[in-house]
Structure 1
Amino acid sequence: MEEHMRFAWAMIFCIAIAPVYADYYSNTVTPSSKVEKVTHLRFFLHDILGGENPGAVVIARANLTKKDDSVLPFGSLVAIDDPLRVGPEPTSKIIGNAQGLYLSSSQDPSKFTIVLYADFAFTSGKFNGSSFSVFSRNPVTEADREVAIVGGRGKFRMARGFAKIKTSYFNATTGDAILEYKVTLYHY
């Protein structure tokens, strides 16, 4: 019994003298004097599922028991590397790309909705090397819709904001779409 008591006191002593490293996590930093900026962007995302060099590829599809003939039935997961262009024409200048995933999240095919996670990166112009991230629900069948911007890097560091999306072109047979993005970013 005495041996157990010595061991218990030794453990209490070791715990009591253990150094505290909480200072690292409690360090308060005064924000810099940088002024928050607002940037407005307009571009077109070309989401092409077919052809020789698609920008979007279905990587998983749910095993549904009911018949659903849509291009992207409920539960379909799509990986994207879509070009961002200055216009809706397939030959317009590429200014960046959107890389990420979207999931077909509506069980009602008449209300096609996706959940989008993508990084919109710019590869030319004054925002070259900068990007912003979207993680939001996107009700595709609505004429005008809005998605949330949840972060950024480069010139868009700590970005937040929203993007208004309007479908410029959609092919229900192939799933190909050209989407106009009007983006409002708040960043430092």
Structure 2
Amino acid sequence: MKNKFTLILVLFLYINLVNCDYYQSKTIVPHDLPNKVTHLHFYYFDIHTGNNPSAVIVARPNQTNEKNPKKSSLYGTVFAIDNPLREGPEETSNVVGNAQGLYVSSSQSEDVTLTMYVDYAFTSGELNGSSFSVLSRNPVREPTRELAVVGGRGKFRMATSFALIRAHFLNVTTGDGIIEYNVTIFHY
């Protein structure tokens, strides 16, 4: 009985290995594909105030500042965003897409630093349906910041690159801001 079981097990494994297509697939080396470079320029509207804010707090720590209980700290606060991307810095500029994702205030010091996961999706023109994703640290008070682009979809599939950003307008009291983006995307 034991020999029959062993024989059946061996035959079962042999049949599965013979019929397996996974190991027969062709490997494509990404460097064999043509490399493309796309430059983008747009404005990101991060609005925390008004009747229809595009950035809202979804979680905050339940701790107080023991040294100064009246002082409010953003550290640990998580924001969900659905920010419009516009051609220019005016509210009347054409919307070319939206940035959706999360960012968290990740610095304990007075220097506001955000850690961002955001997908920048385009909804018009030749980039309609394409997006790129950022996962990066954003030290808000620096005049120019660099964010890491870690991927994309559509025309930006397999993207790697960087975004140079600067505040066009920033209200430090409300958190409202208009951020200028200059993005260089390497993709296939």
Q: CA deviation at 1:27?
A: 2.9
- Counterparts of 1:99 and 1:177, CA distance in 2: 16
Relative to structure 1, the CA distance from residue 50 to residue 151 in structure 2 (aligned partners, 3 Å threshold; closer, same or farther) is same
Q: CA deviation at 1:107?
A: 0.8
RMSD (Å), alpha carbons: 2.0
Which residue identity lines up with residue 97 of structure 1 in the other structure?
Answer: N
Q: For residue 111 of structure 1, give the secondary structure of its aligned residue in structure 2.
A: coil
Aligned to 2:145: 145
Relative to structure 1, the CA distance from residue 14 to residue 124 in structure 2 (aligned partners, 3 Å threshold; closer, same or farther) is same
1:116 equivalent to 2:116? Answer yes
Which residue identity lines up with residue 16 of structure 1 in the other structure?
Answer: V
Which residue identity lines up with residue 34 of structure 2 in the other structure?
Answer: V
Relative to structure 1, the CA distance from residue 11 to residue 178 in structure 2 (aligned partners, 3 Å threshold; closer, same or farther) is farther
Q: For residue 101 of structure 2, give the secondary structure of its aligned residue in structure 1.
A: strand
- Counterparts of 2:75 and 2:4, CA distance in 1: 60
Q: CA deviation at 1:10?
A: 5.8
1:166-177 paired onto structure 2 within 5 Å: 166-177=166-177
Aligned to 2:72: 69
Identity of aligned residues (%): 52
* Unpaired stretches in structure 1, ≥5 consecutive residues: 1-5
- Once the two structures are superposed, residues 120-179 of structure 1 have per-residue CA deviations (whole angstroms, 9 ceiling, x without a partner) of 011112211111011111111111111111111111111110001101111111111111
Q: CA deviation at 1:187?
A: 0.6
Relative to structure 1, the CA distance from residue 26 to residue 143 in structure 2 (aligned partners, 3 Å threshold; closer, same or farther) is farther
- 4+ residue runs of structure 1 moved beyond 6 angstroms? none
Q: For residue 173 of structure 1, give the secondary structure of its aligned residue in structure 2.
A: coil
* Unpaired stretches in structure 2, ≥5 consecutive residues: none
Relative to structure 1, the CA distance from residue 123 to residue 13 in structure 2 (aligned partners, 3 Å threshold; closer, same or farther) is same
1:16 equivalent to 2:19? Answer no
- Counterparts of 2:158 and 2:87, CA distance in 1: 25
**TM-score, normalised on structure 1?**
0.86
- Counterparts of 1:172 and 1:64, CA distance in 2: 22
- Counterparts of 2:10 and 2:140, CA distance in 1: 59
Relative to structure 1, the CA distance from residue 13 to residue 121 in structure 2 (aligned partners, 3 Å threshold; closer, same or farther) is same
Which residue identity lines up with residue 83 of structure 1 in the other structure?
Answer: P
- Counterparts of 2:61 and 2:173, CA distance in 1: 19
Which residue identity lines up with residue 179 of structure 1 in the other structure?
Answer: I
Which residue identity lines up with residue 25 of structure 2 in the other structure?
Answer: N
**TM-score, normalised on structure 2?**
0.86
Which residue identity lines up with residue 90 of structure 2 in the other structure?
Answer: E
| Count of residues in correspondence between the two structures | 179
